[in-house]
């Protein structure tokens, strides 16, 4: 079973729908003990970094997330919150990844970045069976530069991290739950870790 952390941010329904389509049992919770006992943990998120971090901290979930040893997948804002710091609201984040989250500086390009982009340089069991240059769906105004924890890259004005990994922690800047068969395969791969 996968445990989805419900901390009051973002559209959880698309994530719930994805697991329902896959026939995968899930639980939606903010209960610390249930999260600690989970087989796999999903940290979703849509919105702004500072209020999201404040909600995690108020519920005591920031320390819980840092302590997890099972596979954890952060999606979109969830991945950004797993980084060290976000320029959005000058927000200290969870620090699981040392990366900084920075606003797109892409003259002539629309921000937020919304739409389908190809991912490449895939380097993780999370991408088993996924072809280079497969398309996934993004919606975001902030991104993480390519670095040592990058396991998938994409471009919008310049290359950035589409996905990160450090130990048992994984992040996807894109929305696998909205990325069709490619996204479903990525979620299945996460469940198989």
Active site residues: 76, 175, 177
74 cis-preceded (ω within 30 degrees of 0)? no
User: Residue 96 in contact with residue 136, Cβ under 8 Å?
Assistant: no
Q: How far apart are CA 71 and CA 160, in angstroms?
A: 23
User: Residue 74 in contact with residue 172, Cβ under 8 Å?
Assistant: yes
List all residues 6 or more positions away from 131 whose beta carbon is below 8 Å from its beta carbon: none
Q: How far apart are CA 37 and CA 100, in angstroms?
A: 30
């Amino acid at each position: 079973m996968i445990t989805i952390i419900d901390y009051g941010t973002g559209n959880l329904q698309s994530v719930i729908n994805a697991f329902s389509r896959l026939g995968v049992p899930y639980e939606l919770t903010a209960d610390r003990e249930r999260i600690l006992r989970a087989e796999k943990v999903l940290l979703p998120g849509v919105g702004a970094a500072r209020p999201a971090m404040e909600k995690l901290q108020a519920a005591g979930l920031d320390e819980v997330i840092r302590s997890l040893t099972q596979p954890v997948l952060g999606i979109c804002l969830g991945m950004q919150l797993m980084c060290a710091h976000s320029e959005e609201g000058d927000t200290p984040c969870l620090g699981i990844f040392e990366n900084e989250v920075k606003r797109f500086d892409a003259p002539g390009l629309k921000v937020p970045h919304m739409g389908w982009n190809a991912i490449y340089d895939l380097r993780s069991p999370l991408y088993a069976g996924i072809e280079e240059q497969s398309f996934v769906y993004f919606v975001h105004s902030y991104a993480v530069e390519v670095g040592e924890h990058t396991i998938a890259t994409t471009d919008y004005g310049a290359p950035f991290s589409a996905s990160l990994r450090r130990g048992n922690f994984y992040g996807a800047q894109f929305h696998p739950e909205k990325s069709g068969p490619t996204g479903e395969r990525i979620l299945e791969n996460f469940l198989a870790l």
